[in-house]
Amino acid sequence: MSANKDSDGWRTFVWNSEKKEFLGRTGISWLKIFLFYVIFYGCLAGIFIGTIQALLLTLSNYKPTYQDRVAPPGLSHTPRSLKSEISFSLSDPGSYMKYTETVENFLAKYDELRQADQMKFEDCGDSPMSYTDRGSLDSDQGQRKACRFHRSLLAGCSGESDPHYGFKDGKPCIIVKLNRVVNFRPKAPANNQTLPDPLQTRSQPNLIPIFCKNKRDEDVDKIGEIKYFGLGEGFPLQYYPYYGKLLQPQYLQPLVAIQFTNLTRDQELRIECKAYGANIGYSEKDRYQGRFDVNKYLFCCT
Amino acid sequence: MFEMDGEMDKKKKKKKKINKKEKMEGMKKEMDIVSKRQTPQGFRGLTSAFAAQVLERDGPNELKPPKGTPEYVKFARQLAGGLQCLMWVAACICFIAFGIELARGNVTCFDNLYLAITLIAVVVVTGCFGYYQEFKSTNIIASFKNLVPQQAIVIRDGQKNQINAHQLVVGDLVEIKGGDGIPADIRIITSQACKVDNSSLTGESEPQTRTPECTHENPLETRNIAFFSTTCMEGTVTTGMIINTGDRTIIGRIATLASGVGNEKTPIAIEIEHFVDIIAGLAIFFGFTFFVVAMFIGYAFLEAMIFFMAIVVAYVPEGLLATVTVCLSLTAKRLARKNCVVKNLEAVETLGSTSVICSDKTGTLTQNRMTVAHLWFDNHIHAADTTEDQSGKSFDQSSETWRSLARVASLCNRATFRPDQEGVPIPKRLVVGDASETALLKFTELTVGNIVDYRERFKKAVELPFNSTNKFQVSIHELDDPLDLRYLLVMKGAPERILERCSTILIKGQELPLDEQWSEAFQTAYMDLGGLGERVLGFCHLHLNEKEYPRGCPFDPDEMNFPTSGLCFAGLISMIDPPRATVPDAVMKCRTAGIRVVMVTGDHPITARAIAANVGIITEGSETVEDIAQRKRIPVEQVNKRDARACVISGGQLKDMSSDELDEALRSHPEMVFARTSPQQKLIIVESCQRLGSIVAVTGDGVNDSPALKKADIGVAMGIAGSDAAKNAADMILLDDNFASIVTGVEQGRLIFDNLKKSIAYTLTKNIPELTPYLIYITVSVPLPLGCITILFIELATDIYPSVSLAYEKAESDIMNLKPRNPRQHRLVNEALAVYSYFQIGAIQSYAGFTDYFAAMAQEGWFPLLCVGLRPQWEDVHLQDLQDSYGQEWTFSQRLYQQYTCYTVFFVSIEICQISDVLIRKTRRLSVFQQGFFRNRVLVSAIVFQLLLGNLLCYCPGMPNIFNFMPIRVQWWFVPVPYGILIFVYDEIRKLGVRRFPGSWWDQELYY
């Protein structure tokens, strides 16, 4: 009974034939309210778009207004770890195929052929040198040249001699780069004391060195020898600063290849790599700021 | 109860009728059996063994609490409301999401866990809050328990024992003396001058005599039954036999009846329920729609579920119920300071929508003390001062007749002041004596002076107290002049009886023979005073001949060996329980506020009418049907009932009226007085008013008022005169028993309705800027602009205080000049309010939030167009080098902190807009400039508080990792400011339009 009444009430609400009302309003009423909202939202949208446009006008195309969230830069590596680990089996090429492919793709940019254009690239020396100044960011000099970085600098990990980047032999390479930050000039370590022992002897004035070691104490004997490839086995400073996407679209950041030549197999190993510099910071919360750690897990060849 | 049954028989449906009759007859039968079977055992009483058997059979003599719902069920019910269920679902989804992420080995983000815990906490805390409120208001039966006397003297096995009253059984003989409570319903077997106070049961204020004779068929009327819970006022040992115990007593039946009358839902509870249902429905609708949309776009099922949860959290106004409760309790506190204690918070608002007040007369409209109102001597009616504080004018006291009259009034009076009351003003002093003697004592104390001294001077020789056969009281005194050895006989009593005994009359000090002419003058005066509803007493005196009655003459009151006729008539004094000084104003206020005041009293129709006319319930010039008939000299039947504005209906007439006739009477006569009504008839009157669509407030004080108090939309119990049962059944208690306090309550109730509207509008507005980030996030895939935890902070932390502060807002106009709101038309949350809050102010706030969001993103390197579609990469935990608009590479954590920055920026935008919002909500019609920016200090401090809390959340160290708040740049606080100004200006334009063009399209669509 009451349900009947209810549905009747609903029906009248949806379409009241007596008053010719649809959902409680007549056609004219709907038209009026519709017009009102068209105008209202039109004005609001206008104001919104206007403010956003005005906001964009205040922004420089070349220089970010603030960089406090992005600096100090992160240290990222290729291949990326999936589920925070890199694991593969020597006996199963498929298991490391995805890693070698990503490295291959990543290094494609660093092919010599792509860096041939003299208008866009220049040589910046074979040894670490100081910053290359290409004028201020907001001056109208147009596009800037970028320093060449050939993948051959990565020697054993360049993929030129070994398309499997050592994965096949259980000596995997990972390629490390310092994240790009516009106008960021990384500084070499201020004093040697802060560096880990093996680095202290190798320290150079215009280089951000990188060093990997076991993250966990029990792994200390299981990691074996680690080889570093690249220009001065670190990030040479002549590649900095970066001038941004618009001014330096072809920019190549310097790379370091890290090869683990004697990893203990069938063991999960936690390795932490750190870049060292006076203005390279680390954060408790961000595991990729100035350092990273990867879990490596090699299956035995059986 | 019996009387009620009788009435109900006629009013209620036939089925009920049969039931009730059976019950009643059952009771009568039992009474018969008990009296026949048990009396032969005489005064030895029951044997203990037999009593134990009966106790076994009937159970203890105590009122059983009604079988209520168990406490845990009540609590569970609080946790299972519409919104609460939604929140539970949301919390479950959070847990599931967290569990799945945990299982995937991805523990970067504990947000979902925190969120789930917070949501559950919110539900549980608000649940506890509600449960506490309910708990406070439902302990109705508790006070009935307190009514049971602890001990009673019972005769068993021929011995007197003192036992616990709950051990008593039917057939027990009990002894009662003055001051005792009656332990059960008893039939009196022997008594000596026993009087009981039945006021809490029947409303009769005079103590009732109890004797062994059965004087009436109706148990409530008969003299030989005393009732459980009443008290014995006077009398030495009275014995009685118990005829009913526990729940079968009259009071027990009323108790069951009171709990049987369902707790009517208050209008505001209905409003809020209605509105919560809509909100919950919309939340599910939105959530489900976007769930489907998300699935369609290609999100995973779990993600879509999280979206559903987020939309629910964003859309549900978590803080609303708390806000409403706090607003109501603030008003309740304010009312408590004005002598109205509100037991049930929602009653505050109900009072505001009241359209009929059924008021008691005695004590509520009147001062509840007999006071001398008029005197007739020297052939003139003189008015005495009846004000509470003696601020009124007095009459001419120079006449010799007045001196004689005052002497009679002072001497022929047995009432005395209680000792040690020198500091107390005379009208407030406590007196031993009946009501009219008290009135005369106070009157003479005020006019003549120290009565104790005065009586000392006129030594009393003999006195014959008032009794109902003689209808007069007489005493004989020596004169204060030691030389004059005559005795003075003074007499007072019913005027016509006094006049019969008089042969002369005192006029201006002269004794004149009482001829036809004076007799007629007396009759006219008597009629006049009686017509005013006053209780009139005649006074006369006689100087006894000193030879016939020399000093030391042995007067005997029983033989009356003194003259009782041929006396000298001194005058008439009439008394009334005068209206309270504040009442006529209050009634007037009610009238302007469109509230009808109906008087329901147990008093005589004439008195009731007189008081009604006095306080303005019957206005000047209003006539009853009888008045018109008299004026036009036609029979009552020929009068058109519609011509009569006023109507006085007595309980007897009411008994014979059908409910339709009563409805018709209430509809056609705006000014109604019900006289000689039993308190049970109140229930019928209330029901009739409610049938006519009124929101009814009822005042009451007796135990048997409790059904009416419960039935009423708002029951008002008297704090001083009220019984505990009445107080328990009521929603509100008037501490000073003053009608005017009800009017204050009405005013506050109306104010809180307006202010709640504002509060709710304020609270609802921000749901849109909380919801839109998700909608945009899902559909356009920008990085999430506003997180769930941030939303909860807005809902439950920063915005609570401002929304509560609106409860302190002053009324915009004179709310007491408006009609009461019609609960069916003027809703708390109407369409216009929701639409304006959601689609206009809420929309502007959303734009403000997004402007600020895009500003914060762009200034950090993420241009608006890049943001669109960025979500999958942005949220990829393993992607550590995502490029922004400048080619810079961001790690996941850097992006996450940027996202938190966005949350904070969006939060700040909503806060800034909400400040503007709270300012515009101060008024609905007036300009804020007219209302005054700073007049509501609480609101100003709420804004300051909101800003400070916002700053604390933003800049307190440790916030980013606990609550996802980031320290943001100062300029981002100012991005939303233009939108805030826009809100303010737009609303001022809206209000201007509403004020300028009432009834226009603008007014209809935009006034809420």
Mean pLDDT of all residues in B626-631: 83
- Cα distances from A144 to residues A147, A178, A183, A206, in angstroms, run 10, 20, 13, 22
pLDDT reading at B436 higher than 80: yes
Pairing of strands B596-600, B356-359: parallel
Lowest model confidence (mean pLDDT) among B308-317, B726-735, B854-863: B726-735
Amino acid B39: pLDDT:
45
pLDDT reading at B3 higher than 60: no
Amino acid B261: pLDDT:
54
CB neighbours of A33 closer than 8 A, spacing ≥ 6? A25, B1005
Mean pLDDT of chain B: 82
**Which residues does chain B have within 8 Å of residue A177's beta carbon, measured at their own beta carbons?**
881
Among candidates B266, B265, B339, which has minimal Cα distance to B743?
A: B339
Amino acid B366: pLDDT:
83
pLDDT reading at B18 higher than 60: no
Q: Which of residues 232-261 of B touch A (CB under 8 A)?
A: none
Kindly compute the dihedral angle of the four CA atoms of residues B277, B281, B284, B288, in this order, to the nearest 10 degrees. 170
Residue type (1 letter), A176: V
Which member of A33, A70, A283 has the closest CB to residue B1005?
A: A33
Among all residues of chain A, which has the CA nearest to that of B972?
A55
Amino acid B363: pLDDT:
75
Does residue A72 have a cis peptide bond before it, meaning omega lies within 30 degrees of 0?
Answer: yes
Higher pLDDT, B777 or A285: B777
Higher pLDDT, B848 or B18: B848
Could you read off the pLDDT of B450-496 as tens digits, one per residue? 888 888 888 888 888 877 677 888 888 888 888 888 888 999 998 98
Whether the CB of A13 is below 8 Å from some CB of chain B: the reply is no
pLDDT reading at B143 higher than 70: no
Whether the CB of B843 is below 8 Å from some CB of chain A: the reply is yes
The most confident of the ranges A163-167, B346-350, B907-911, B928-932 is B907-911
Amino acid B65: pLDDT:
60
Lowest model confidence (mean pLDDT) among A108-112, B71-75, B724-728, B775-779: B724-728
Mean pLDDT of all residues in B153-160: 82
Whether the CB of B961 is below 8 Å from some CB of chain A: the reply is yes
Q: How confident is the model at residue A139 (pLDDT cuts 50, 70, 90)?
A: low
Q: Give the number of A-B residue pairs with CB atoms closer than 8 Å.
A: 131
Mean pLDDT of all residues in A29-35: 91
Amino acid B136: pLDDT:
59
Amino acid B133: pLDDT:
64
Lowest model confidence (mean pLDDT) among A155-159, A285-289, B195-199: B195-199
- From A38's Cα to the closest Cα of chain B, the distance in A is 12
Amino acid A84: pLDDT:
66
Higher pLDDT, B279 or B867: B867
Q: What is the Cα–Cα distance from A130 to B866, expressed in whole angstroms?
A: 34
Amino acid B602: pLDDT:
80
Higher pLDDT, A5 or B624: B624
pLDDT reading at B574 higher than 50: yes
**Which residues does chain B have within 8 Å of residue A248's beta carbon, measured at their own beta carbons?**
887
Whether the CB of B855 is below 8 Å from some CB of chain A: the reply is yes
**Which residues does chain B have within 8 Å of residue A180's beta carbon, measured at their own beta carbons?**
881, 883, 887-889
Q: How confident is the model at residue B184 (pLDDT cuts 50, 70, 90)?
A: confident
pLDDT reading at B268 higher than 80: no
Higher pLDDT, A177 or A299: A177
Whether the CB of B880 is below 8 Å from some CB of chain A: the reply is yes
Q: Which of residues 78-117 of A touch B (CB under 8 A)?
A: 80-84
H/E segment holding residue A291: strand A291-299
A246 close to A163: Cβ distance less than 8 angstroms = no
Quickly count helices (H) and strands (E) in chain B.
41, 28
Mean pLDDT of all residues in A202-223: 84
Quickly count helices (H) and strands (E) in chain A.
5, 14
Mean pLDDT of all residues in B814-828: 81
Q: What is the Cα–Cα distance from A87 to A268, expressed in whole angstroms?
A: 9
Contact across the interface for A80 and B880, Cβ inside 8 Å: yes
Helix, strand, coil shares, percent, chain A, to 5: 30, 25, 45
Whether the CB of A10 is below 8 Å from some CB of chain B: the reply is no
Amino acid B943: pLDDT:
95
Q: What is the Cα–Cα distance from B848 to B909, expressed in whole angstroms?
A: 6
Among candidates B871, B855, B852, which has minimal Cα distance to B863?
A: B855
Q: How confident is the model at residue B58 (pLDDT cuts 50, 70, 90)?
A: confident
Pairing of strands A173-178, A75-78: antiparallel
- From A227's Cα to the closest Cα of chain B, the distance in A is 23
Among all residues of chain B, which has the CA nearest to that of A290?
B891
Q: How confident is the model at residue B43 (pLDDT cuts 50, 70, 90)?
A: low
What global pTM score does this model have? 0.78
Could you read off the pLDDT of B938-965 as tens digits, one per residue? 999 999 999 999 999 999 988 888 888 9
Higher pLDDT, B873 or A20: B873
Could you read off the pLDDT of B614-625 as tens digits, one per residue? 899 998 888 888
pLDDT reading at B276 higher than 90: no
Q: How confident is the model at residue B8 (pLDDT cuts 50, 70, 90)?
A: very low
**Which residues does chain B have within 8 Å of residue A76's beta carbon, measured at their own beta carbons?**
880-881, 889, 891
Residue type (1 letter), B541: H
Amino acid B942: pLDDT:
95
pLDDT reading at B137 higher than 70: no
Whether the CB of B858 is below 8 Å from some CB of chain A: the reply is yes
pLDDT reading at B371 higher than 80: yes
Mean pLDDT of all residues in B138-157: 59
- Cα distances from B330 to residues B335, B348, B799, B936, in angstroms, run 9, 10, 17, 15
Whether the CB of B859 is below 8 Å from some CB of chain A: the reply is yes
The residue of B768, B886, B977 whose CB has the most chain A CBs within 10 angstroms, and thus the best one to mutate to test that interface, is B886
pLDDT reading at B11 higher than 70: no
Amino acid B947: pLDDT:
95
**Which residues does chain B have within 8 Å of residue A83's beta carbon, measured at their own beta carbons?**
104-106, 878
pLDDT reading at B728 higher than 90: no
Q: Which of residues 276-295 of A touch B (CB under 8 A)?
A: 283, 285-289, 292
Higher pLDDT, B783 or B933: B783
- From B797's Cα to the closest Cα of chain A, the distance in A is 27
Amino acid B846: pLDDT:
96
Contact across the interface for B888 and A65, Cβ inside 8 Å: no
Amino acid B577: pLDDT:
85
Mean pLDDT of all residues in B258-271: 64
Residue B360 catalytic? yes
Amino acid B140: pLDDT:
40
Task: Determine the Cα angle at B739 with ends B732 and B812, to 5°.
Answer: 80
Whether the CB of B838 is below 8 Å from some CB of chain A: the reply is no
Amino acid B285: pLDDT:
87
Mean pLDDT of all residues in B344-348: 74
Mean pLDDT of all residues in A273-299: 83
Amino acid A6: pLDDT:
52
Amino acid B69: pLDDT:
64
Amino acid B559: pLDDT:
79
